[in-house]
Amino acid sequence: MSFGFIDILQSLIDGILFGSIYALIGLGFTLIFGAMEKLNMAYAASSIGGAYVGLGLATLFSLPLFLVFLIGPIAAGLISILVYLVSFRLIPSTNHLGSLMASIGALFFIDEVIIHETQGSPLTFPELGIFAEAYFMLGDLGFRGDLIFIMIFGLISMGVIIYLLYYTRLGLATRAVSQQNVAARLCGIPIHTINISTFVLAGILGGFAGCMAAASVGVISPLLTIPITIKGLIAAVIGGLGSIRGAIIAGLMIGGVENFFLLVRGVNERDIYVFLLLFVFLVLRPNGLFGNEINRD
Amino acid sequence: MFSKFKKLKLATLAFATVIAGGAVADTIKIAGWGAKSGPLRSFGVNSEAIIKAAIDRVNENGGVKLADGSMAKMSYDYYDSACNAEQGIAIARKVASETNALIGIGPTCSGVAAASFGVFQKKVGDSSDTGLQMPLLTDTAVRNGLAKISQWTFRNTPNEPDMYDKLFAWIAKTNPDIKTIYGGTETNQGHSAGTYSKVIVQAAIRHGFEWVNGPIDEVSDKIGSGFKNVLSSSSNWLMEDTNFSVQARAFKKSGADLFIVSSHPFTTCGFLKELSRMKGMPKMMVGLTSSSSAEVMKGCPKQAEGMIIPTSFAPITAAAKEVAALAAANGGSADLHSAASWENVMIIKDVIEAVGITGDPSKVKEERAKIRDGLEALETTEGLIGTVTRVQDEGEALKPFVFVHAKNGNWEVLHDPRK
């Protein structure tokens, strides 16, 4: 199939819009890394898990389906607490590899629980109401209403998180723990409470992202977990681990790059270029786009 | 269950067994394996539910008749091969070497079947080949031509080349306004991609449909011709994809009369929703056999409306309706893959009774060989929606099928080629 300039532009627009989901997941990775200097590999699994719990409870109790988007993030926040306890709290803080491996274990554990509870079958997920069918045309270019909604939501989330981190006592404490763990403890900051708060915040955000990802397809499946984990992690790394705006920008960029190469090189080569982008950043700009924001001792 | 048989051969086998004497068992064991974990878990769950229902039915009716005339119950163990080739091979080896199961049913995935059939002895009686010597009657793995990998492997799966050939012949006859085709598939799923690129497109071309952008190099009406070029000329996705904007736009832009969507339910729904959102629906859509399932009707009934799929199972006979109900009662659902499990259990029962099995654990190897011979001798079997013809030299089946289409949230029979 041949393609022209409009096709390329359209694929970039679609990709950037869809990249909002990667951005939200990347934001969660970066939040946790910023607070603990550790990667929580189970983050996207918790997010999808939350979406499943929301859907399950809404179905079980015949609740209005819009409540899935409320219950899902709360459930993801609770799952994140569990992940924190088993993968981080109970493992010595100096054992970074132990926490990393434990969170990978938690990822697969959550994934397998979902698969066993749902028999692996994709489940219908409520769509984003009027946004789901909305499709705006601007000349020859089309814009999906639900993805615009998700993108706006991502930008608002970024604003809320920046506000929480820089203009609240919780944010001050989080930054203190992040920058000098021991000093923060000596100042009486309860670091585990702060870490749990960060996990809950990131979990709620991820729960929204999980619900949005499922709503954008109208179906939820355990198959979503691994690709979203990988792309979200790449977004966090390219954006600069610990950088909030970096995660957002990199997430959108990855969506655009992914869709562009899908158009020009096909589905089998698409991800090669995304990983290539990661390697380029790791070699040429290892701290990512905004890595200098990480001010650790 | 089967009507024609190589009677003399089987009678001789049975007679020889009785003459030889020996202990008889009170239970005949069979084994099943399929995906019971991972994203395709529902396939294994459905197959096991129906195997259980079928074995319960056999046992309710007294069991299976052994060589000495006594009756034995049937029992089964079901293993999880998880759509993983290594796991499938390990299970095949374990069942063949560590259990007294006389025959296996499975696996789910064509990739597992292609890999694990290779560890069975290729030619019966070849002393230089130490491969597994246990018969296997596949219910689900449907990729074309797998059973001939070994003379111990048999399949009771739909013959997709035949089904799509008849489907496109029917479409060409009844819809003369449909002339051009375009399509896409999940490239990382063996069945979807293989059937699309080697069977479906070629079947369409065979019946006069034209690829929308002109002929694809090396692609003719022959199965498998130019399959790599089919894939590179199509707009494809992966099984775990969630964003289909580029593909749906390519489909819409093609302007073809008929779209071929060869994927499993998860991505079929995601893709169709994107296509619908772009208002890119064609005059007609043809789907993959595996998509004629409840999942698509749950996930995207509106968008799938009108999609046509050939399938070897639909609840159109009393027997098929009963199996569908039993599957539901056992926590599964009957579809073209899982329903074959019922037929397989009944075939196994009939073969055991025909060849004369004692169930004596000390004779497992010998009796497995007898059952294999019995399976190979079958010319026809009675399926849930009609008579199944065995392709004896290949170990394959030619199953009756119907064309269903998505209508008002259900798969309804659109055309019945059996009539």
- Quote the CA–CA distance of B146 and B202 in Å, as a whole number: 19
pLDDT single digits (tens) A151-189: 898 889 888 988 998 899 988 998 888 888 888 889 999
Domain around B244:
160-311
pTM of the model: 0.82
B270 with A120: Cβ contact below 8 A: no
The pLDDT assigned to A224 comes to 86
On chain A, the residues whose CB falls within 8 A of the CB of B295 are: 121-122
Bond prior to B176 in cis (omega within 30° of 0): no
**What pLDDT is attached to residue B154?**
97
Exposure string of B87-112, with b = 16+ CB inside 10 Å and e = fewer, is bbbbbbeebbeebbbbbbbbbbbbbb
Contact A165, A205 (CB under 8 A): no
Which is nearest to B355 in space by CA: B344, B366, B345? B366
Task: Test A218 with B237 for CB contact under 8 angstroms.
Answer: no
Statement to judge: residues B307 and B165 lie in one domain: yes
**pLDDT the model gives residue A297:** 41
Tokens of A221: 């499946």
Among chain A, residues having any CB pair with chain B shorter than 8 Å are: 1, 7, 10-11, 14-15, 18, 112, 115-116, 119-124, 133, 135, 142, 144, 213, 216-219, 221-224, 226-227, 255, 258-259, 262-263, 266-268
* DSSP string across chain A: ----HHHHHHHHHHHHHHHHHHHHHHHHHHHHHHHHS---TTHHHHHHHHHHHHHHHHHHTT--GGGHHHHHHHHHHHHHHHHHIIIIITS-TT-HHHHHHHHHHHHHHHHHHHHHHHTT--EE----HHHHH-EEEETTEEEEHHHHHHHHHHHHHHHHHHHHHHHSHHHHHHHHHHH-HHHHHHTT--HHHHHHHHHHHHHHHHHHHHHHHHHHHTEE-GGGHHHHHHHHHHHHHHH-TT-HHHHHHHHHHHHHHHHHHHHHH-HHHHHHHHHHHHHHHHHH-TT-TTGGG----
Q: How far apart are CA B268 and CA B307, in angstroms?
A: 11
Q: What are phi and psi of A209, to 5 degrees?
A: -60, -45
Find, among B109, B37, B233, B285, the residue nearest to A112 by Cα.
B37
Q: Do B151 and B35 share a domain, yes or no?
A: yes
CB contact under 8 A, A259 and B298: no
On whether both B335 and B297 belong to a single domain, the answer is: no
Q: How many residues make up chain A in this entry?
A: 297
pLDDT at residue B58 in the model: 97
Mean pLDDT, chain B, integer:
91
| B191 located within any domain | yes
State whether B86 and B36 are in the same domain.
yes
Give the span between the Cα atoms of A49 and B380, in whole angstroms.
Answer: 48
Rounded distance, CA A176 to CA A171, Å? 8
If asked whether residues B43 and B148 sit together in one domain, one would say yes
Residue-level pLDDT at A139: 86
B1 inside domain: no
Tell me, yes or no, whether B266 and B371 share the same domain: no
The answer to whether B37 and B82 have CB atoms below 8 angstroms apart is yes
The DSSP annotation for A17-29 comes to HHHHHHHHHHHHH
Question: Mean pLDDT throughout B212-217?
Answer: 93
Answer whether residue A296 shows pLDDT above 50: no
The pLDDT value given to residue B1? 47
Cβ–Cβ contact B220 with A under 8 A: no
For residue B293, being part of any structural domain is answered with yes
Residue A258 near residue A15 (C-beta atoms within 8 A): yes
User: Is the CB of B262 inside 8 Å of chain A's CB atoms?
Assistant: no
Asked if residue B149 and residue B20 are part of one domain, the reply reads yes
Same domain, B172 and B300: yes
B53 and B145, same domain (yes or no): yes
Question: Does the beta-carbon distance from B269 to A259 stay under 8 Å?
Answer: no
- Position A1 confidence tier, pLDDT thresholds 50, 70, 90: low
Average pLDDT, chain A: 89
Q: Provide the β-strand partners of residue B411.
A: B406
B18, pLDDT greater than 90: no
B214: closest chain A residue by CA: A1
Query: Please, which pLDDT band fits residue B184 given cuts at 50, 70 and 90?
Result: very high
Which CATH number fits the domain that encloses residue B360? Answer: 3.40.50.2300
Asked if residue B51 and residue B39 are part of one domain, the reply reads yes
Q: Residue B180 pLDDT more than 70?
A: yes
Residue B13 banded pLDDT, cuts 50, 70, 90: low
* Structural contact between residues B235 and B275, judged by C-beta atoms closer than 8 angstroms: no
Whether B304 and B365 map to the same domain: the answer is no
The answer to whether position B125 is within a domain reads: yes
Residues 116-175 of B with CB under 8 A from A: none
- Cβ-based contacts under 8 A for chains A and B: 106
Q: Is position B414 within any domain?
A: no
Q: Which amino acid is at A56?
A: G
Q: Sorting pLDDT into bands at 50, 70 and 90, what band is B195?
A: very high
As a whole number of angstroms, the distance between CA B151 and CA B100 comes to 20
pLDDT tens per residue, range B332-361:
889 999 999 999 999 999 999 999 999 999
Find, in chain B, the residue whose alpha carbon is nearest to that of A223: B240
Two tokens at A187?
Answer: 């100042």
User: Looking at residues B367-390, what average pLDDT do you find?
Assistant: 96
Taking each helix axis from N to C end, the angle separating B41-60 and B339-355, rounded to the nearest 10 degrees, works out to 40
Count Cβ atoms below 10 Å from residue B255 Cβ, excluding itself: 12
* Substitution target from B243, B275, B281 for chain A, most A beta carbons within 10 A: B243
Four-CA torsion A113, A114, A119, A124, nearest 10 degrees: 170
The CA distance from A249 to A22, in Å, is 10
- Which pLDDT value is given to residue B393? 86
Domain limit, last residue, from B311, B327, B357: B311
Q: What is residue B16's predicted lDDT score, i.e. its pLDDT?
A: 53
Which of these three, B288, B311, B334, is where a domain ends? B311
Residue whose structure tokens are 């869709």 = A259
- Residue A218: which of B213, B236, B300 has the nearest Cβ? B300
Residues of B in contact with A108 (CB under 8 A): none
**CA A80 – CA A78 distance, rounded (Å):** 5
Q: Model confidence over A107-140: pLDDT tens digits?
A: 999 998 998 888 777 788 888 777 777 888 888 8
Could you tell me if B173 and B132 lie in one domain?
no
CATH number belonging to domain A5-293: 1.10.3470
Q: pLDDT tens across A4-19, in order?
A: 889 999 999 999 999 9
Q: What is the pLDDT of residues A242-267, one digit of tens each?
A: 888 899 999 999 999 999 999 999 99
Determine contact, residues B173/B415, Cβ cutoff 8 Å: no
Q: Of the candidates A281, A289, A274, A280, which has an alpha carbon nearest to the alpha carbon of residue A232?
A: A274
pLDDT digit string (tens) for B238-265? 988 888 999 999 999 999 999 999 998 7
Does B388 reside within a domain?
yes
Rama region for A218: left / alpha / beta (φ>0; ψ in -120 to 50; rest) = left
How many structural domains comprise chain B?
2
Q: CB of B102 within 8 A of CB of B365?
A: no
How far apart (Å, rounded) are the C-alpha atoms in residues B267 and B19? 57
**A131 with A212: CB under 8 angstroms?**
no
Average pLDDT (B294-317) is 90
Q: For chain B, how long is the longest CA-to-CA vector? A: 72
